[in-house]
Protein backbone atom coordinates (compact mmCIF):
# COMPACT_ATOMS: atom_id res chain seq x y z
CA UNK A 1 0.00 0.00 0.00
CA UNK A 2 2.78 2.46 0.90
CA UNK A 3 4.59 1.81 -2.38
CA UNK A 4 1.44 2.57 -4.40
CA UNK A 5 0.99 5.90 -2.61
CA UNK A 6 4.64 6.81 -3.09
CA UNK A 7 4.52 5.92 -6.78
CA UNK A 8 1.33 7.92 -7.26
CA UNK A 9 2.83 10.98 -5.58
CA UNK A 10 6.10 10.50 -7.41
CA UNK A 11 4.30 10.74 -10.77
CA UNK A 12 3.61 14.38 -9.94
CA UNK A 13 7.14 15.08 -8.69
CA UNK A 14 9.08 13.50 -11.54
CA UNK A 15 9.20 15.31 -14.86
CA UNK A 16 9.83 14.81 -18.53
CA UNK A 17 11.71 17.47 -20.47
CA UNK A 18 10.76 17.76 -24.12
CA UNK A 19 12.93 19.76 -26.53
CA UNK A 20 11.36 20.83 -29.82
CA UNK A 21 13.56 22.43 -32.45
CA UNK A 22 13.62 23.61 -36.02
CA UNK A 23 17.19 24.46 -37.02
CA UNK A 24 18.42 25.71 -40.39
CA UNK A 25 20.21 23.07 -42.49
CA UNK A 26 20.75 24.81 -45.83
CA UNK A 27 24.53 25.01 -45.67
CA UNK A 28 27.18 22.55 -44.55
CA UNK A 29 27.98 24.75 -41.54
CA UNK A 30 24.28 24.88 -40.49
CA UNK A 31 23.98 21.08 -40.78
CA UNK A 32 27.08 20.68 -38.61
CA UNK A 33 25.64 23.05 -35.97
CA UNK A 34 22.27 21.21 -35.99
CA UNK A 35 24.03 17.86 -35.73
CA UNK A 36 26.15 19.12 -32.85
CA UNK A 37 23.04 20.33 -30.98
CA UNK A 38 21.36 16.91 -31.39
CA UNK A 39 24.55 15.12 -30.28
CA UNK A 40 24.75 17.25 -27.13
CA UNK A 41 21.13 16.32 -26.32
CA UNK A 42 21.94 12.63 -26.76
CA UNK A 43 25.10 12.98 -24.63
CA UNK A 44 22.95 14.52 -21.88
CA UNK A 45 20.65 11.49 -21.79
CA UNK A 46 17.89 12.66 -24.12
CA UNK A 47 16.34 10.23 -26.58
CA UNK A 48 14.70 10.99 -29.89
CA UNK A 49 10.91 10.95 -29.81
CA UNK A 50 10.51 12.26 -33.36
CA UNK A 51 13.01 13.81 -35.76
CA UNK A 52 13.06 17.22 -34.05
CA UNK A 53 11.65 16.26 -30.66
CA UNK A 54 13.88 14.85 -27.93
CA UNK A 55 12.84 13.86 -24.42
CA UNK A 56 14.40 12.99 -21.09
CA UNK A 57 13.01 11.69 -17.80
CA UNK A 58 14.04 13.57 -14.66
CA UNK A 59 13.33 12.20 -11.19
CA UNK A 60 12.96 15.66 -9.63
CA UNK A 61 12.44 19.32 -10.46
CA UNK A 62 16.01 20.06 -9.38
CA UNK A 63 17.32 17.45 -11.81
CA UNK A 64 15.17 18.93 -14.59
CA UNK A 65 16.60 22.40 -13.87
CA UNK A 66 20.15 21.08 -14.33
CA UNK A 67 19.31 19.64 -17.74
CA UNK A 68 17.37 22.76 -18.69
CA UNK A 69 20.44 24.88 -18.00
CA UNK A 70 22.57 22.58 -20.16
CA UNK A 71 20.14 22.99 -23.04
CA UNK A 72 20.28 26.78 -22.69
CA UNK A 73 24.09 26.70 -22.65
CA UNK A 74 24.13 24.74 -25.91
CA UNK A 75 21.57 26.75 -27.90
CA UNK A 76 22.65 27.44 -31.47
CA UNK A 77 22.66 31.04 -32.67
CA UNK A 78 19.85 30.50 -35.21
CA UNK A 79 16.69 28.41 -35.29
CA UNK A 80 13.70 27.86 -33.05
CA UNK A 81 13.97 25.78 -29.90
CA UNK A 82 11.23 25.08 -27.39
CA UNK A 83 11.72 23.40 -24.00
CA UNK A 84 8.74 22.05 -22.10
CA UNK A 85 8.48 20.21 -18.79
CA UNK A 86 5.53 17.97 -17.99
CA UNK A 87 4.90 15.66 -15.06
CA UNK A 88 5.28 11.91 -15.41
CA UNK A 89 1.53 11.65 -14.83
CA UNK A 90 0.80 13.96 -17.78
CA UNK A 91 3.29 12.07 -19.96
CA UNK A 92 1.58 8.80 -19.05
CA UNK A 93 -1.75 10.15 -20.31
CA UNK A 94 -0.33 10.68 -23.81
CA UNK A 95 -1.81 8.48 -26.51
CA UNK A 96 0.71 7.14 -29.04
CA UNK A 97 -0.08 5.60 -32.41
CA UNK A 98 1.94 3.95 -35.15
CA UNK A 99 -0.44 4.36 -38.05
CA UNK A 100 -3.81 3.34 -36.63
CA UNK A 101 -2.32 0.97 -34.06
CA UNK A 102 -2.16 2.35 -30.53
CA UNK A 103 0.99 1.57 -28.52
CA UNK A 104 1.87 1.86 -24.84
CA UNK A 105 4.06 4.75 -23.66
CA UNK A 106 7.53 3.82 -22.48
CA UNK A 107 8.05 3.64 -18.75
CA UNK A 108 11.13 5.47 -17.48
CA UNK A 109 13.98 3.20 -16.54
CA UNK A 110 15.34 3.25 -13.02
CA UNK A 111 18.14 5.78 -12.84
CA UNK A 112 20.79 6.13 -10.21
CA UNK A 113 21.27 9.71 -9.08
CA UNK A 114 24.41 10.84 -7.32
CA UNK A 115 24.49 14.15 -5.55
CATH for 16? 3.30.70.240
CA atoms within 13 A on the CB side of 85: 17
Q: Is 22 annotated as a binding residue?
A: yes
Instruction: Let me know if residue 113 belongs to a domain.
Output: no
Q: What is the pLDDT of residues 26-74, one digit of tens each?
A: 999 999 999 999 999 999 999 999 999 999 999 999 999 999 999 999 9
3 state SS of 51:
coil
Instruction: Let me know if residue 100 belongs to a domain.
Output: no
Q: What residues make up the domain containing 38?
A: 9-91
Q: Which residue has the higher pLDDT, 81 or 114?
A: 81
Residue 65 has a CB neighbour count (10 Å cut-off) of 14
Instruction: Let me know if residue 64 belongs to a domain.
Output: yes
Q: Structure pTM?
A: 0.79
Instruction: Let me know if residue 71 belongs to a domain.
Output: yes
Instruction: Let me know if residue 105 belongs to a domain.
Output: no
Instruction: Let me know if residue 51 belongs to a domain.
Output: yes
Structural domain count of the chain: 1
Instruction: Let me know if residue 66 belongs to a domain.
Output: yes
Amino acid sequence: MYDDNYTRLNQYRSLWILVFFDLPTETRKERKIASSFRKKLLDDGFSMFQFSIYMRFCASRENAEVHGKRIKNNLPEHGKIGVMQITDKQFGMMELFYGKKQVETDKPSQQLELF
